[in-house]
């Protein structure tokens, strides 16, 4: 016959075992839930060149802006500044580290004013104007690292849009037509950017940057 | 099966491992790739064409030579100059005698006997050119002499 305390010890061991197993199972459950909550499907958004998180990550947009006016103007055989405005629609900052360029035979269109509404006769992309992105090559989509990463603040925050002057990042061929004197240019569209979203200190607008190769 | 102390220790280790896992996972997914909308735009602008050269003069290289030296003031952003010569008058009959001139002087070859006027134009690149300058004073070339 077993002593009563023997049964008690047995029940205590069983109880501890159940608590232990329960702890293991609970931990595994929490880990599984946590893993599922921190991983989202990442896909490609149409028209973009990088990865976007479906439904939660939106593409940047880059538009032309006349102010501040480029102080480094284009002349045949030389380089000049380009001014852009970068908008970030996401709820988090986005940092740009590189731009992707079209080919060096993709030319800018000339306009009579900074509003870029009336084209300049004799200075069109098809003429050609001779104006391209600096360091563009014969291959479309080449990536060119920025000298300094640019961080565009989250949507609704200061410095978004971010206005940036890209120093010497436009080039004019020595054979540019005379019609391209005193002309404003709409640069060819970039083919993409290298950018990531996440915590970062936003750049201050207006900023200055460039790519040098 | 296990002592209470051991059970608590095992639980502590498991919770620590879970926390580390969550932190690692969160860090790995703190940055998401972001793309660019189509049809981005940017603006650049070009400067004016070259201005007309000023202070254009011509002179004999020596009293006994039959060559002339033409000089002028530099033009901002100009990459080269062109020289125009007339043997008719100061105001007409000019023909191009030199292009792609670098610097702010040009010396002719031996000139035939006669009277000469010179004008200069500036260029930036191949196609951006200025109008011609005002004519130099008349230069008279004689046999083995120039004035």
pLDDT, one tens digit per residue, over B78-87 is 999 999 999 9
- B127, A177: Cβ pair inside 8 Å? yes
pLDDT number for residue A4? 54
The token duo for A26 is 């609970």
Give Cβ neighbours of residue A146 (< 8 Å, ≥ 6 apart).
Answer: A96, A97, A98, A99, A209, A210, A211
Whole-angstrom CA distances from A37 to A26, A34, B15, B18, B20 are 17, 5, 18, 14, 15
Per-residue pLDDT tens digits for B89-108: 999 999 999 999 999 999 99
Q: What pLDDT band is residue A56 in, cutting at 50, 70 and 90?
A: confident
This prediction has a pTM of: 0.78
Q: For the domain B57-146, what is the CATH superfamily, name and number?
A: Immunoglobulins (2.60.40.10)
Min Cα distance B35 → chain A (Å) is: 4
pLDDT number for residue B49? 98
Residues of A in Cβ contact (< 8 Å) with B18: 27, 30-31, 34
Min Cα distance A78 → chain B (Å) is: 9
Residue A153 DSSP code = P
- For A12, the enclosing helix (H) or strand (E) is helix A4-37
Nearest CB to B127; choose among A17, A176, A185: A176
Which has more pLDDT, B147 or A109? A109
Which has more pLDDT, B64 or A147? A147
Quick one: average pLDDT of B41-61?
Answer: 96
Min Cα distance A198 → chain B (Å) is: 5
Q: Does the CA dihedral B82-B87-B91-B95 come out positive or negative?
A: negative
pLDDT number for residue A36? 37
pLDDT number for residue B59? 94
* Contact (CB, 8 A) for A66 and A83: yes
Nearest CB to A187; choose among B30, B42, B46: B42
* Predicted-complex ipTM score: 0.79
* Contact (CB, 8 A) for B70 and B53: no
Nearest CB to B32; choose among A34, A53, A187: A53
| Residue of B111, B109, B120, B112 lying closest to B70 (CA atoms) | B120
Residues of A in Cβ contact (< 8 Å) with B36: 48-50, 59-62, 190, 192-193, 195
């Amino acid at each position: 016959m077993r002593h009563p305390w023997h049964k008690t010890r047995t029940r205590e061991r069983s109880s501890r075992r159940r608590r232990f197993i329960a702890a293991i199972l609970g931990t595994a459950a929490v880990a599984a839930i946590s893993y599922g909550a921190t991983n989202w499907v990442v896909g490609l958004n149409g028209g973009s060149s990088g990865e976007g998180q479906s439904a939660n990550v939106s593409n940047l947009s880059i538009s032309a802006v006349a102010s501040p006016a480029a102080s480094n103007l284009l002349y045949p055989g030389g380089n000049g500044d380009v001014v852009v405005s970068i908008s970030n629609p996401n709820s988090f900052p986005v940092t740009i580290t590189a731009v992707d360029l079209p080919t060096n035979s993709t030319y800018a269109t000339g306009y009579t004013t900074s509003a870029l509404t009336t084209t300049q006769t004799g200075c069109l992309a098809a003429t050609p104007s001779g104006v391209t992105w600096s360091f563009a090559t014969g291959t479309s989509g080449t990536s060119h690292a920025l000298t300094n990463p640019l961080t565009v603040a989250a949507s609704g925050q200061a410095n978004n849009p971010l206005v940036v002057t890209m120093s010497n990042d436009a080039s004019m061929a020595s054979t540019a037509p005379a019609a391209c004197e005193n002309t404003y240019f709409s640069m060819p569209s970039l083919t993409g950017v290298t950018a990531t979203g996440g915590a970062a200190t936003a750049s201050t607008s207006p900023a200055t940057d460039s790519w040098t190769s | 099966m296990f002592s209470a102390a051991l059970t608590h220790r095992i639980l502590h280790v498991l919770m620590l491992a879970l926390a580390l896992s969550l932190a690692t996972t969160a860090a790995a997914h703190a940055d998401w790739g972001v793309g660019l909308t189509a049809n981005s735009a940017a603006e650049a602008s070009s400067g004016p064409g070259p201005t007309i050269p000023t202070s254009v003069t011509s002179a004999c290289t020596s009293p006994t030579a039959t060559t002339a030296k033409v000089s002028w003031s530099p033009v901002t952003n100009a990459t080269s100059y062109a020289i125009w010569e007339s043997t008719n008058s100061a105001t007409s009959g000019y023909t191009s005698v030199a292009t792609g001139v670098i610097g702010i002087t040009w010396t002719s070859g031996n000139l035939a006997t006669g009277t000469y006027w010179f004008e200069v134009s500036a260029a930036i690149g191949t196609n951006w050119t200025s109008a011609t300058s005002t004519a130099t004073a008349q230069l008279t070339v004689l046999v083995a002499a120039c004035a």
